[in-house]
Structure 1
Amino acid sequence: MGAADVVPGVSGGTIAFITGIYQRLLNAIQSVNLEAAKLLFQKGSLINNIKSLWQHIDGNFLLAVFSGLLTSAISLAKIITFMLANHPIYVWSFFFGLIIASFIHIAKQVETWNIKTILSCIFGAALAFTITTLSPTDVEPQWWYYTAAGAIAICAMILPGISGSFILLLLGMYAHVLSAVNSLAFDLIFLFITGCIIGLMAFSRVLTWLLKHYHQITFALLSGFLVGSLNLLWPWKQVLTTYTNSKGIIKPLSQKNILPDTFLQLTGQDPKQVMAISLMLFGLLLILFIEKLSKK
């Protein structure tokens, strides 16, 4: 999940769903509530209270997941930044295949495809597609921007198909957050994580309610999110307009998906089709393997 969340366009929620921990994750997050606080401050031994609280919030599970998230995000941030800068076709191809397989996996959770689930899927695809066509911005962040960005982006991070990293791009905060992680700016990281916790507490309850009352429609919506997000992950793009960020670096502002042959003609660069298709297939097969593994 940590590795996926670092890449703009890929959701950690997708990985959580495929590995079979999605519902447990939502339940554990929701359990951090007033009842948990009461367990901590009830009469009796403090050690026993902490044990009751830990069991109530599924502490071992949350510790494992979030330790993995932080470790992976910190260790892979520089690698992902390097790969996106030097080998973008390889990165996007791998995740393109991964998301296709993820769509197949989530779509199979919809037991009956009827007019409601089909419309829900179409709406999800249209919404995700629209989000991926928006142009990123760049801001000079105040301290509170990090908290606000964390609260907004975390909602996307736990939704299969919508990337929290891409939301950060739209907010103009992706580079700043990644820079804070790479430079170990703990004050800024703390502000961002605080926002993530606030957003996570609120949005997980909304999502759980939807899954409880509109299970099939919600799954169809999530599968639509995945289809719509493929627009962002297409490996071959033509840069239409650029902008200069606060550090004086020229970056793409708007791009258009093109075919590999067109990419070769426009850029003069090798589209690396064989390797790209191989990585797509690898991403697809990897998810199918993880799916079988999670069932066991």
Structure 2
Amino acid sequence: MAQMELAGMPRRLFACTPSRLAAFEDCPRRYRMIYLDRPRPPKGPAWAHTSFGVSVHNALRRWWEEPIAARTPARAVQLVRLLWVEDGFRDAEHSAAWRERAAEMVAGYVGGLDPAAEPRGVERSVAARTDALAFSGRVDRLDERDGELVVVDYKTGRRPVTEQDARSSPALALYALAAGRMLRRPCHRVELHHVPTGRIAVAEHTDDSIARHVRRAESVASDAVAATEALGAGGDPDRAFPPRPGSLCSWCDYRRLCPQGQSAGPERQPWAALGDETAPVTEPRHGD
């Protein structure tokens, strides 16, 4: 049942993470299955590309936790092997081959870093409130350079990142807003670090550009709240949360439960995204 609100009382803020907002934008039906359906429908098999990305992120987090003298490419290789996630690969040999590929990739990336440039935070939780949102998330790395904060997000997909990717990312803009407020430092620069190539895509936000991202996020939240209230009032789930068929359906955890998603694209093997050129350019979202 939709919640009653007293006249004159402020509307409850929508609690969200980057993943929650993106889930509704990508596909309202998938959003409903993840966040509203209880019990939650069973997910499909684990994805190898998710395991790959999580392993790289975990190794980089641990690398920064090492003493400065131990922050070497060789230690990065050890950490990838130590923290490797095996789920979703075709077999043990396939997993081992991608583990070594990840180790080489991470070693190359950290070889271009200054081990003594201590980040302000690694896997740092940040949060902020707006007129409509109670936003929270976890930043891969938060640097402080010349008195200003810089949001750093790691990417492990095959497609190199671009400045447009950095500029258009709602998550990075909201991270910048939250980090600046929490740590009381200017925060306008956001960076995507493409670990496979070492490429860094940069965007310099302004207060106005961050405000535009906030308005967009609040619009998504408003639509999600309206759909949830319609469902709570007894509305048809498929009308309140319609599917949004597209290329991402082949990679959806709930594809088996969605006839429209099954029609939108072929079923994929759990390891297909690692080498299939038709795989999505998006990556598993972090920060929840």
TM range (shorter): under 0.3
The alignment's TM-score, normalised by the length of structure 2, stands at 0.26
If each structure's helix is expressed as a fraction of its own residues, which one has the higher value? 1
